[in-house]
Amino acid sequence: MQKESFGEKEKYLPWIAAMAIFMQSLDGTILNTSLPSIAKDMNYSPLEMQSIIVSYTLTLAILIPLSGWLSDKFGTKRTFTFALAVFTLGSLFCAISPSLSTLIISRIIQAIGGSMMVPVARLAILYKYPKNELLRVINFMTIPGLIGPVIGPSLGGWLSDNLSWHWVFLVNLPIGIAGIYLTQKVMPNFKNTVSKFDTTGLIYFSLTIVLITLVMELTSVGITSFTMILIFVALAMICFLLYVRHSKRTKAPIIDLKLLEIRTLRIGLSGSLFTRLGIGGIPFLLPLMLQVGFGYSASTAGLMLLPSAVTTVLIKPWVVPLVKRLGYKKVLVSNTLILATIIGMFSLATSQTPLLYMIILMIFYGAFNSIQMASMNTISLSDLDNDNASAGNSLLAIMQQLSISFGISVAALILSYFKDAGNFFHGETANAFKYTFISLGAITALSSLIFFRLKNNDGHLLSGNEQKRSA
């Protein structure tokens, strides 16, 4: 491995990585409360704006496998600088977008940079620091990732109410420019030997995911031509089968499906995917329900997400002792059912419901959601060894991004169905949200069946420190 010598300046490298994580986590949450303002400005329904979020998360998932290969080939400093520049430029394009279509294209450009920022920064940390220092450094890096969701929704709501939605994207510009400057001063240009990139595999994988997402998006906005949907589903299945055949014949496939032979990884990934189909749409749905259904301001809607983000951070120290005491199977089965109940209770809210009710629900949602994410992530990685840890971790990262995208698409699809069934539900938008929350709660409850397949002693070899690091 090649690297440049930066001496004392390298001690600031974790700050660069922390900044990247903060930018990505902030960008992932600040937009939710601004969707109604963007929709009004662009003459769309707020219930049809999920494509702005989905296009970003989908691009992240598709391009994450490319980031490590580019970093090893061209160097961490060059790749990270390019990522920051593209992300910042994409943010500017988002702010000046005159229409929904141009905003979606700008979000994709933004996501191209975002897909490389965090993975490349983490890779630089792994190359720079010895293993006995990694836990301390990684814990420091992840704190801004927890702070971003805390201030994102409320900041997005305040900017939309007091300035304009354009500032949701403009706030990235000074951070990005400062990040580019610091990267040139601080980050080493680590390189490593790379094999030939699996371009064919990336094409098959990307087409499969894009076609599946396209089906959900078209259905959610009312385009329900049976023939068109059937064609897209068939094409998605063909692309997936082509990738399966390709991965078996390729020495280094972009996603090694043989990893799914590891039982805990397979259960963890599938459980994570289906659980997030239920819980992944909550940050998208709740601000919409409060603004569109109940008439609250964007600032108020943003503040309602704050209790969840705070408890997500505060509960972290208790996750490891809980899992060590009860075991992964009991924690994941019971916690998934509790989350399903909490999601279902959102359906009881009306425009006359005191905000205190919503705040209490969000406090419990944040706490149990934090337990769920940490437990699902660590059980997925519990049986990996040194030979497959990197590939397994990449597979988990890809699945996380895909499940976020699918979770929002599924929530929007269900909401669209109940909204269009206006005659039965008396045409009230609030009722559409009510039945959507009930449906998402049911999906979450059913996902608990996957975790029943765990054995009582699965994950018992993880020590406390290893659990924290995987989380």
Cβ–Cβ < 8 Å for 62, 255: no
Nearest alpha-carbon partner for 117 in 187, 51, 52, 206: 187
CA distances 173 to 38, 78, 92, 179, Å, are 19, 19, 7, 10
CA dihedral of residues 382, 133, 17, 26 (deg, nearest 10): 60
CA 148 to chain centroid: 13
Nearest alpha-carbon partner for 59 in 103, 111, 113, 94: 111
Integer Cα distance of 311 and 372 in angstroms: 13
Q: And the tokens for 22?
A: 């903060």
Cβ–Cβ < 8 Å for 20, 379: no
Integer Cα distance of 289 and 318 in angstroms: 32
Integer Cα distance of 90 and 52 in angstroms: 13
Three-state DSSP at 87 gives helix
Cβ–Cβ < 8 Å for 178, 327: no
Integer Cα distance of 414 and 104 in angstroms: 22
Integer Cα distance of 67 and 107 in angstroms: 18
What superfamily would CATH give domain 256-471? MFS general substrate transporter like domains (1.20.1250.20)
One-letter amino acid at 365 equals Y
Integer Cα distance of 201 and 305 in angstroms: 38
- Residues with Cβ within 8 Å of residue 324, at least 6 apart in sequence: 464, 467
Cβ–Cβ < 8 Å for 280, 414: no
Nearest alpha-carbon partner for 128 in 28, 229, 1, 298: 1
Q: And the tokens for 229?
A: 């949907």
Cβ atoms within 10 Å, residue 460: 12
CA dihedral of residues 50, 55, 57, 62 (deg, nearest 10): 150
Nearest alpha-carbon partner for 123 in 194, 50, 30: 194
Backbone angles phi, psi at 2, to 5 degrees: -100, 145
pTM attached to this predicted model:
0.71
Integer Cα distance of 230 and 215 in angstroms: 9
Class of domain 8-191: mainly alpha
- Residues with Cβ within 8 Å of residue 407, at least 6 apart in sequence: 276, 277, 278, 279, 280, 281
One-letter amino acid at 193 equals T
Torsion sign, CA atoms 287, 292, 296, 299:
positive
pLDDT tens across the length of the chain (471 residues): 554 444 556 677 788 887 887 787 777 677 767 777 888 887 777 666 667 777 787 787 778 778 777 877 888 888 899 999 999 999 999 898 888 888 889 999 998 988 888 778 877 777 777 655 655 666 566 666 666 666 777 777 777 777 888 888 888 899 889 888 888 888 878 777 667 778 888 888 888 887 887 776 666 555 556 677 788 889 989 998 999 899 888 877 877 788 888 888 889 888 988 898 888 778 778 888 888 778 887 777 777 777 887 887 788 778 778 888 888 889 999 999 999 999 999 988 888 888 889 889 989 998 898 888 878 877 876 776 656 655 666 677 777 777 777 787 788 888 877 877 655 444 467 788 889 999 999 999 999 999 998 888 777 655 444 444 334
